[in-house]
Amino acid sequence: MSLTNAQYDMILHEYERKQLKNRSERERRLAYVYEQVPLYRELEDRVAAVSVAQGKKLLAGDADAMEDLRDALAELSGRKAQLLEDAGFASDYLEPVYECPDCRDTGYIDGQKCHCFRQAMITLLYEQSNIREMLRTENFDSLSYEYYDGEDLSRFRNAVRTCRNFVKNFNSDYHNLFFYGTVGTGKSFLSGCIAKELIESGHSVIYFSATGLFDLLSRNSFDYKNREELRETYADLYQCDLLIIDDLGTELTNQFVASQLFALLNERHMGKKATIISTNLSLEELRNRYSDRIFSRITSHYEICKLSGQDIRMYRKRLMNRK
């Protein structure tokens, strides 16, 4: 599971908050019972007194002290339960309160992360990714081949197969993908399919449109008041398990953008951190628009997937207008 130390601490602090809240709720309920059933408090005091008395006997060598204590506590527990029932309280009213009974709000079961901890991780990873809403509709469950035929269909099927293998082998095989082709042919959709699968399995995924990514890096680079934020931004971009850069080529390309792009791709490659890039540019346009070293980095270290066909978004829009 891929969380930064800060993110891990954030989840643990949330568990501490739950535990404090639960203790407060239990204390509130106990105080209410004491108020409504005064004899209940007397029995609780009796439990403490009996435990101390039998403990002294045990230390003095009384071999029957432990068994006598168990019998006495069982008898007192039964009387307490009867008092609660007679007063109209549920039998479990004073039981410990947990949001997750399985791990008792500790986050762990027998040293392993509880399902609630894993869900908290996934929720946090979705928030970090920037694409929670997009992935509600763009995922393998909604994948369809109906908009393709001929060579376009063959290319899309090959791309889907590549994406599924990318996910299947993600933990064992460092890999990068480069989707290119005409507008609306499924490049961003396939990136989303991969992102959802990896986030659901606990991997950190960050998505940026090229325009949004370089706008962010530009603002942070020249804003000296936010140097700490810049360091955190760069750390996330360089260290997340998967970075998705969507619509490369829609940004205003200049020397700053080119240098930032190369540094980012090179650093992630050196750290064997996977990257997916999608673009409407042809390979020739990519070479002409960016430096040779960027073109070389992509063509040498990325699996290239070309998609073609009609603009699916425009096709769907036309269908809606006909209704």
Q: Are residues 247 and 143 in the same domain?
A: yes
pTM given for the model: 0.67
Number of domain units in the chain? 2
Average pLDDT, the chain: 86
Residue 305 belongs to a domain with what CATH number?
Answer: 3.40.50.300
Q: Are residues 171 and 247 in the same domain?
A: yes
Phi-psi category of residue 183: left, alpha or beta, with phi > 0 → left and psi -120 to 50 → alpha: beta
Domain that holds residue 211: 130-322
Query: Measured between alpha carbons, how far is 98 from 275 in angstroms, rounded to an integer?
Result: 40
Residue 122 falls within a domain, yes or no? no
Q: What is the pLDDT of residue 191?
A: 94
Model confidence at 1: pLDDT above 50: no
Q: Are residues 272 and 150 in the same domain?
A: yes
Q: Is the model more confident about 180 or about 54?
A: 180
Q: Are residues 227 and 168 in the same domain?
A: yes
The model's confidence at residue 14, banded by pLDDT at 50, 70 and 90, is very high
Provide the token pair at 82.
Answer: 């009867």
Residue 43 falls within a domain, yes or no? yes
Residue 59 falls within a domain, yes or no? yes
Q: Which of 77, 109, 141 is the last residue of a domain?
A: 109
Q: Are residues 210 and 262 in the same domain?
A: yes
Q: Is the model more confident about 268 or about 62?
A: 268
- Whether the Cβ atoms of residue 30 and residue 89 lie closer than 8 Å to each other: no
Q: Are residues 87 and 143 in the same domain?
A: no
Residue 114 falls within a domain, yes or no? no
| Range list of H helices, the chain | 5-36, 38-59, 65-86, 115-129, 150-168, 187-200, 210-221, 227-239, 255-270, 283-289, 292-301, 312-322
Model confidence at 233: pLDDT above 70: no
Q: Are residues 203 and 256 in the same domain?
A: yes
The model's confidence at residue 153, banded by pLDDT at 50, 70 and 90, is very high
Q: Are residues 187 and 311 in the same domain?
A: yes
